[in-house]
Amino acid sequence: GAVVSQHPSRVICKSGTSVKIECRSLDFQATTMFWYRQFPKQSLMLMATSNEGSKATYEQGVEKDKFLINHASLTLSTLTVTSAHPEDSSFYICSARDGGAGEQYFGPGTRLTVT
Amino acid sequence: AQSVAQPEDQVNVAEGNPLTVKCTYSVSGNPYLFWYVQYPNRGLQFLLKYITGDNLVKGSYGFEAEFNKSQTSFHLKKPSALVSDSALYFCAVRDTFRGYQKVTFGIGTKLQVIP
Task: Give exposure, A69-81, as e/b (b: 16+ Cβ within 10 Å).
Answer: bebeeebbbbbeb
> Could you tell me which residues come within 8 angstroms of residue A48 by beta carbon, excluding any fewer than 6 positions away?
A34, A35, A56, A57, A58, A59, A62, A64, A67, A69
- pLDDT (tens digit, 9 = 90+) per residue, B2-53? 889 999 999 999 999 999 999 999 988 888 999 999 988 788 888 999 988 8
> What local confidence, expressed as pLDDT, does residue B98 receive?
60
pLDDT for A31 beyond 90: no
Which residue on chain B is closest to A59 by alpha carbon? B102
Q: Is B7 exposed, middle or buried (0-12, 13-18, 19+ CB in 10 A)?
A: exposed
Provide mean pLDDT across the span A86-103: 84
Q: Which amino acid is at B113?
A: V
Instruction: Convert A67-91 into a string of H (helix), E (strand) and C (coil).
Output: EEEEEEECCEEEEEECCCCHHHCEE
- pLDDT (tens digit, 9 = 90+) per residue, B74-110? 999 999 999 999 999 999 998 776 655 678 889 999 9
DSSP state of A55: P
Cβ contacts below 8 Å, chain A against chain B, sum to: 45
Provide mean pLDDT across the span A21-47: 88
pLDDT for B70 beyond 90: yes
Of B43, B101, B103, the CB nearest to A107: B43
Contact B93, B35 (CB under 8 A): no
> What local confidence, expressed as pLDDT, does residue B41 receive?
75
Which position has the higher pLDDT, A44 or A42?
A44
pLDDT for A100 beyond 90: no
Q: Given CB atoms, is A3 within the 8 Å cutoff of chain B?
A: no
pLDDT for A71 beyond 80: yes
> Do the Cβ atoms of B44 and A106 come within 8 Å?
yes
Q: Given CB atoms, is A21 within the 8 Å cutoff of chain B?
A: no
Distance CA A35, CA A95 (A): 7
Q: Given CB atoms, is A95 within the 8 Å cutoff of chain B?
A: yes
